[in-house]
Amino acid sequence: MTGISWPHLNQMVCASHLFHGVTLGHGEIAERIACAREPRKLPVVLITEEVVSFL
């Protein structure tokens, strides 16, 4: 998704849970809505020459 921050996306998911689960009384639908998780980023790996120059 572009243009939407992860906290904003999670806020929309929570609002959807509230609307479907509490307001409409459809708890089974609210359980199927997954929370958004920010993808994990891979760490930067140094090449051998960079490690040697660092040491």
Q: How much is the pTM?
A: 0.55
Instruction: Give the type of residue at 47.
Output: I
Looking at residue 33, the DSSP 8-state letter turns out to be S
Looking at residue 35, the DSSP 8-state letter turns out to be P
Query: Taking 70 as the threshold, does the pLDDT of residue 1 lie above it?
Result: no
CA distance 17 to 4: 19
CA distance 22 to 19: 6
Which is more confidently placed, 37 or 9?
9
Are 5 and 31 in contact by the 8 Å Cβ rule? The answer is no
| pLDDT tens track for 11-27 | 888 888 888 888 888 87
Which pLDDT score, from 0 to 100, does residue 39 have? Answer: 80
